[in-house]
């Protein structure tokens, strides 16, 4: 395997992974060499006869595992975005091995003793040192040998179950797609959409996206078809209920082993929220207003429908009421939201106005799939900043949702500039332009907010680079970036008809703004139900088991005050990938926690003139560039000038 592309840094610009050279057979040898090499490096650090210093211990750890970092980054990016049967088999095999490898480092007693002796006066080094100490303590470094052995078993089993959950969901989501033979059943979709769903065998297949309320529910006119689509959505991957219950029980046991009453307490102690009580106080302020608004919305929908509605009717009649109240038609906007223009004249335009950065497509640089586009990003003075990689389209072998990840971390230690990637799940048309919904436009701006967080990172150590911040802080910069989607100067620049080039009519723009708080009761309840379901699973006490996960889910929603037959959680247990395979366990609250900071920041931008370089430079300097190199709330206060409050969020959601 002398030609294995992972064994040396990529010689492509910015060390972009050489996807054209990478084959499936490269992964396992690279994982094996990478883990072995890092363990040798760690052993050298732990066994050193020199007194422990920041440089020979912490910096040395930061330098370790380069082959493994390159391999892991590429492998899991491809596993999420363009998987194969071979990749899935490797994932099953390697995930437990990676868990054992991590435990071998974090439970190394000699290494831990050295770390405890390190001191430094440098603020960035002090923060990183504290992060390392917390990593080791929270991983069980102070436990007895028998306790550590049980911890290893728990970690390995959880890793295996997480992979099983994710792969089961991917398979079930594909198999649960709505299949119709008569295109008349798809009435409500335009001809281009229907044609994009047609398969070679003459059937029409509407794939599921990874949340409860499928987009098609707002358009399909046939009520029975809507019911079938909805029931397929909520009923997919039933086997995952048992996996989830087992994972929750194992997480509770692990939390107890580490000295916490439950997994939620374990997770939140390392977040900006700090305590279970802080999270529950914030969520509690939202449940009552959200439920009241949702029930008022339901009354309006039933009046519009002329009969008591069901869950699969809500999105459809929402659009009817929206049209009646605001003369707003989401479908009428799609011709003005062409994918390339949204990015080049919207997302990129706003970033240029705020931060002075520019984007140049690099057709000479490729990704793992033909749909991937690479852009070089430069500062205003022409100096190189990094690469932005975009993969916008849905595929059967791509997980649902939208996300950002780093392919290369910015680090002064290694002299690397960031390579960041955005994944979306937009349906690719059979021919012609790709027209987005307004929600998809918002998602594009959101994910690019994550990308900016990665691109603007200016830190020395990869452990705190870019978006490596607490989970309940990471969504904050991305949510702030959503504000520019409807900022007048930005919207006017990209919202142009894909055929005529005419700007979106002023009346459509006004209707869009007038309707912004409409249906926020539904959206907030849907989100809170998922958040509180996550919380219920992860407040299980050690030894507490769940025999009937569906009954547990129903009881948890009832107890939290969000059990409402017309609004199911955005994610039910069986397809809640965020918490059972995506790293958000006991952390799904982070979206609304981050939105508190986001709403405060949007208010600041508006108070200070909006889309200006001065504002962008301030946000970049005080917050985006800092990554995880200082306390996140300190960075927020340095930017905002005060502690955050919940008032702006309640006003934004129409919940005052």
Transcribe 249-285 into DSSP letters.
HHHHHHHHHTT-SSHHHHHHTTSSS-SHHHHHHHHHH
Which pair of structure tokens corresponds to residue 383? 């100096």
Question: Cα(653)–Cα(258) distance, rounded to whole angstroms?
Answer: 38
Residue 8, burial from CB neighbour count under 10 angstroms (0-12, 13-18, 19+): exposed
For residue 447, indicate whether it is catalytic. yes
Question: Cα(557)–Cα(597) distance, rounded to whole angstroms?
Answer: 26
Catalytic residue from among 91, 297, 447, 600: 447
Question: Cα(155)–Cα(97) distance, rounded to whole angstroms?
Answer: 11
Of 636, 571, 598, the C-alpha closest to 169 is 571
Count other Cβ atoms within 10 Å, centred on residue 335: 18
Transcribe 437-454 into DSSP letters.
PHHHHHHHHHHHHHHHHH
Question: Cα(49)–Cα(85) distance, rounded to whole angstroms?
Answer: 47
Count other Cβ atoms within 10 Å, centred on residue 227: 16
Residue 31, burial from CB neighbour count under 10 angstroms (0-12, 13-18, 19+): buried
Which residue matches tokens 């595992």? 65
Query: Across the beta sheet with 419-426, what order do the strands follow?
Result: 358-361, 373-378, 384-393, 419-426, 403-408
Decide if 39 contacts 386 (C-beta within 8 A). Answer: no
Beta bridge partners of 491: none
Phi, psi of 505 (to 5 degrees): -55, 145
Question: Cα(18)–Cα(478) distance, rounded to whole angstroms?
Answer: 28
Phi, psi of 574 (to 5 degrees): -70, -20
Q: How far apart are the first and last CA of the chain?
A: 63
What length is written for the chain? 656
Decide if 467 contacts 459 (C-beta within 8 A). Answer: no
Question: Cα(622)–Cα(601) distance, rounded to whole angstroms?
Answer: 13
At 101, is the secondary structure helix, strand, or coil?
helix
Question: Cα(368)–Cα(385) distance, rounded to whole angstroms?
Answer: 22
Transcribe 333-393 into DSSP letters.
HGGG-BHHHHIIIIIHHHHHHHH--EEEE-TTS--SSTT-EEEEEE-TTS-EEEEEEEEEE
Work out whether strand 419-426 and strand 384-393 pair parallel, antiparallel, or are unpaired.
parallel
Cα atoms in the 13 Å half-sphere on the side-chain side of 570: 19
Catalytic residue positions?
Answer: 447
């Amino acid at each position: 395997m002398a030609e294995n592309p992972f064994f040396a840094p990529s010689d492509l610009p910015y060390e972009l992974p050489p996807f054209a050279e990478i084959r499936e057979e490269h992964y396992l040898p690279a994982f094996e060499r990478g883990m072995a090499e890092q363990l040798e490096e760690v052993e050298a650090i732990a066994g050193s006869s020199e007194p422990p210093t920041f440089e020979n211990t912490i910096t040395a750890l930061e330098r370790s595992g380069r082959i493994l970092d390159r391999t892991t980054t590429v492998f899991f990016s491809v596993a999420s975005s363009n998987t194969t049967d071979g990749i899935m088999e490797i994932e099953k095999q390697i995930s437990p091995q990676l868990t054992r490898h991590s435990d071998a480092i974090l439970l190394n007693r000699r290494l831990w003793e050295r770390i405890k002796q390190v001191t430094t006066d440098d603020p960035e080094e002090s923060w990183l040192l504290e992060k390392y100490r917390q990593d080791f303590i929270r991983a069980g470094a102070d436990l007895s040998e028998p306790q550590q052995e049980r911890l290893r078993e728990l970690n390995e089993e959880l890793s295996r179950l997480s992979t099983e959950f994710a792969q089961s969901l991917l398979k079930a989501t594909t198999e649960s797609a709505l299949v119709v033979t008569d295109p008349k059943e798809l009435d409500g979709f335009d001809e281009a959409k229907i044609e994009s769903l047609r398969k070679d065998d003459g059937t029409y297949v509407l794939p599921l996206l990874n949340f409860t309320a499928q987009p098609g529910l707002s358009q399909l006119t046939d009520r029975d078809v809507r019911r079938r689509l909805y029931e397929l959505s909520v009923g997919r991957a039933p086997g995952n209920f048992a996996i989830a219950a087992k994972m929750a029980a194992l997480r509770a046991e692990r939390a107890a082993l580490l000295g916490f009453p439950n997994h939620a307490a374990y997770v939140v102690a390392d977040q900006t929220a700090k305590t279970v009580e802080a999270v529950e106080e914030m969520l509690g302020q939202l449940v009552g207003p959200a439920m009241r608004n949702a029930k008022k919305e339901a009354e309006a929908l039933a009046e519009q429908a002329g009969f008591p509605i069901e869950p699969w009717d809500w999105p459809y009649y929402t659009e009817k009421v929206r049209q009646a109240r605001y003369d707003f038609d989401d479908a009428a906007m799609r011709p003005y939201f062409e994918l390339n223009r949204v990015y080049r004249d919207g997302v990129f335009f706003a970033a240029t106005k705020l931060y002075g950065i520019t984007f140049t497509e690099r057709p000479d640089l490729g990704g793992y799939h033909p749909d991937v586009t690479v852009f070089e990003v430069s500062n205003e003075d022409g100096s190189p900043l990094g690469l932005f990689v975009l993969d916008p389209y849905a595929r059967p072998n791509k997980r649902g949702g939208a996300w950002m990840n780093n392919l290369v971390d910015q680090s002064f230690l290694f002299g690397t500039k960031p390579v960041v990637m955005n994944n979306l799940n937009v349906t690719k048309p059979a021919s012609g332009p790709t027209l987005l919904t307004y929600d998809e436009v918002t998602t594009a701006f959101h994910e690019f907010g994550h990308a900016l967080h990665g691109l603007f990172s200016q830190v020395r150590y990869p452990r705190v680079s870019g978006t490596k911040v607490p989970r309940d802080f990471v969504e904050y910069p991305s949510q702030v970036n959503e504000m520019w989607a409807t900022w007048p100067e930005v919207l006017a620049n990209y919202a142009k008809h894909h055929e005529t080039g005419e700007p979106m009519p002023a009346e459509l723009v006004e209707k869009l703004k007038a309707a912004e708080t409409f249906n926020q009761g539904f959206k907030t309840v849907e989100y809170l139900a998922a958040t509180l379901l996550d919380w219920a699973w992860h407040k299980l006490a050690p030894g507490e088991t769940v025999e009937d996960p569906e009954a547990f889910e129903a009881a948890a929603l009832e107890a939290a005050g969000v059990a409402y037959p017309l609004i199911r959680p955005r994610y039910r247990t069986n397809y809640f990938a965020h918490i059972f395979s995506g790293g958000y366990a006991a952390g799904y609250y982070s979206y609304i926690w981050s939105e508190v900071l986001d709403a405060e920041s949007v208010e600041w931008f508006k108070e200070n003139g909006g889309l200006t370089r001065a504002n962008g430079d301030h946000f970049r300097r005080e917050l985006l560039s800092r990554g995880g190199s200082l306390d996140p709330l300190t960075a927020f206060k340095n930017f905002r000038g005060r502690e955050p409050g919940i008032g702006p969020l309640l006003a934004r959601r129409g919940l005052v």
